[in-house]
Chains A and B, each alone.
Chain A
Amino acid sequence: MQAEIIIQHGQIKFARPLYLKPDAPMRYRVEIPDEALIETRDWFVDAPPAPETLHKVPPAKPGSLQERLNQLLGRLALTRPGSSIGDDEQMLQDALEERYFGR
């Protein structure tokens, strides 16, 4: 069958809920026309960070702002994976939906 989907802030939702059999495949392919796409908003697209660089205390020189931030964050002073502009937009959208639509 064909299903109608809605793309919002980079994510897909079915227009009507579909209920799949437990053994149905988890992944489906959607074809989007190339001319419908626009370039990414991110100035530089982050290369995926090497896992060994993540969740480490950000290196800081004595007296630097980074040292101050590390001090304020305590055990939460950790390097984290990047978030694209689109990811941030989506996160914000989710938050607004959560707040105003009681999702």
Chain B
Amino acid sequence: MAVNSYKHTQVQLVFDTNVLVDALAARGAYYADAVGVLELVRNGEVEGWYAPHTLSTVYYLLERALAKDAQNRRESVQAARVLLQELSSLLKPLPQVGDELATLDAEVSDDLEDQLIGFLAGQYLPNPIIITRDKWFLKSSDIPALHPKELLEQGLAAWSKKPEKMPFIDLAVQQRAIRPQLQRNIHAVLQHGTYIMGPEVELLEKKLAAYTGAKHCITVASGTEALLVSLMALGIGAGDEVITTPFTFVATAEVIVLLGAKPVFVDIEPDTCNIDARLIEAKITERTKAIMPVSLYGQPADMDEINAIAAKYNLPVIEDAAQSFGATYKGKKSCHLSTIGCTSFFPSKPLGCYGDGGAIFTDDDDIYQACREIRVHGQSRRYYHTRVGVGGRMDTLQCAIVLAKLERFDWEVEQRIALGQRYNQLMDEAGIQRVQQRDDRTSVFAQYTVLVEKRSEVEARFKEVGIPTSVHYPVPLNEQPAYQHLCCADCTPIAKDRAQRVMSLPMGANLTNQQQTQIAQTL
């Protein structure tokens, strides 16, 4: 049974051999307690782990226990193997490189198997408890050890430590949830050794295209690279203008300027903080070559209105969907809402890798071909360069990581939407102004952002209680030293105001209701 989220995220159970054999073979007076603790894992109450090196011992003892009632050895062997499969669907293996045993301190214990369980649990899990019937375990490591009976009597809450500091985005819980798949995918890359443009690149592109509904997907080195390659594919260069928002991460305007073009900033809507589509047409000139809206905080902008204006002037639209992969607009997926969609797999993004990565989406065959060539130094075939390009490929390893994360992405999007709605309710009840979401689209809440007065005081209050906050973004791009010559600061008064008041709160698919309530109370 695949469980994505556990109620008690602050404690992790590691099962010793004896408890597993007791549970699986209904052995001894406490077998029901051992099964009871495994049931907590099965029901999504708590994470359950085992040390891989103990599995052969579990198997051997299990087979011996069953053999006494079996007709022949084949029967007990088969039954033991079936039970091991069941076990691996319930519990996750602790990561193990393989040479740990040789590095353990021989002075600590003469029971290497137990010592290694303790070592692996302590090295990898933040707050493990060993579930065992062996009280010598306490000698092998500093990790708390409990008999199944004791855990059931005391309850999990008694062992759930409050984290010292709430993370802004909890990537550790997510990583533990998908660790076996991550390791499998990473090992596959190490095995085939095609680190650049390996089979995972094409597989990911196919899966992402299918997810968004776009005809083509081209993975690239980062979200910034996705924007740059897209503009290059459209032939945007010196003297051209691209209409965009000043209230975004700098990459949006940076790539335009890098190509010698000029970003033309259009102010934002006061409630969604996305580009105000009603103001775009007035900014179109004969030099305008594209419109680049940003799906800020995970919510698409008014794409129908923007696409209509673009169609009127025969302009392409590039959706900067760095924050909104997984969101929808009138039933269609973000990244497939205009001529081109660009997203980012920066680790903190709703779908992130463990480094930099990004992707371009389009239905246009010519743009697709151009993007593919530009991504690899403009080459149409090996060492034949038909256009100027960049070294912009996404690593095979990063694609392998996104593939592992993609398996539970639908669940994460559902969680994000539910948590965003709960945040909305808490903020509305408390009378706190927040970024609004439109009814005809969903946000994946890459950030959950509120509007506050005297922001530095509010930030200090949060810091005092150990809750991180962030500001997306404190200065509009048209006020940044590198870009201020392009547009007057007062030309976008809403962006100017919002930059002084926005504050983002912790967000992620594994954020708990308890944490949300604590955040709302602090606010």
Binding site for B on A (CB under 8 A): 41-44, 46-47, 49, 55, 58, 64-66, 68-69, 72-83, 85, 88, 91-92, 95
A-facing mask of B433-455, CB < 8 A → 1, else 0? Answer: 00000000000000000000000
Whether the pair A80, B26 counts as a contact (CB closer than 8 A) is yes
Contacts between the two chains (Cβ within 8 Å), count: 101
Residue count of chain B within 8 Å CB distance of chain A:
41
In the complex, chain B residues whose CB is within 8 Å of the CB of A69: 23-24, 26, 35, 83, 86
Whether the pair A58, B31 counts as a contact (CB closer than 8 A) is yes
Tell me, yes or no, whether B69 is within 8 Å of chain A by CB: yes
Q: How far is the CB of A34 from chain B (nearest CB, A)?
A: 20
**Which of the residues B23, B26, B30 comes within 8 Å of A78, measured between beta carbons?**
B26
In the complex, chain B residues whose CB is within 8 Å of the CB of A78: 26, 69
> In chain B, residues 119-161, which have Cβ atoms closer than 8 Å to a Cβ of chain A?
132-136, 147, 149
Tell me, yes or no, whether B61 is within 8 Å of chain A by CB: yes
Question: What's the Cα separation between A72 and B64 when bound, in Å?
Answer: 17
> In chain B, residues 78-96, which have Cβ atoms closer than 8 Å to a Cβ of chain A?
79, 82-83, 86, 90
**Which of the residues B42, B75, B133 comes within 8 Å of A43, measured between beta carbons?**
B133
26 contacts between A and B (CB under 8 A): A41-B135, A42-B135, A43-B132, A44-B149, A58-B32, A64-B35, A65-B38, A65-B90, A68-B86, A69-B26, A72-B86, A73-B66, A73-B82, A73-B83, A76-B79, A77-B26, A78-B69, A80-B69, A81-B27, A81-B28, A82-B28, A82-B29, A83-B61, A91-B61, A92-B61, A95-B64
Question: What's the Cα separation between A58 and B159 when bound, in Å?
Answer: 29
Given A44-B149, A65-B35, A73-B83, are A80 and B28 also a contact pair (CB < 8 Å)?
A: yes
Given A76-B66, A88-B18, A91-B61, are A43 and B147 also a contact pair (CB < 8 Å)?
A: yes
Q: How far is the CB of A61 from chain B (nearest CB, A)?
A: 10
Question: What's the Cα separation between A88 and B20 when bound, in Å?
Answer: 12
Whether the pair B29, A47 counts as a contact (CB closer than 8 A) is yes
> In chain B, residues 1-31, which have Cβ atoms closer than 8 Å to a Cβ of chain A?
17-18, 21-31
In the complex, chain B residues whose CB is within 8 Å of the CB of A85: 18, 133-134, 136
B37 (CB) vs chain A CBs: closest residue: A65
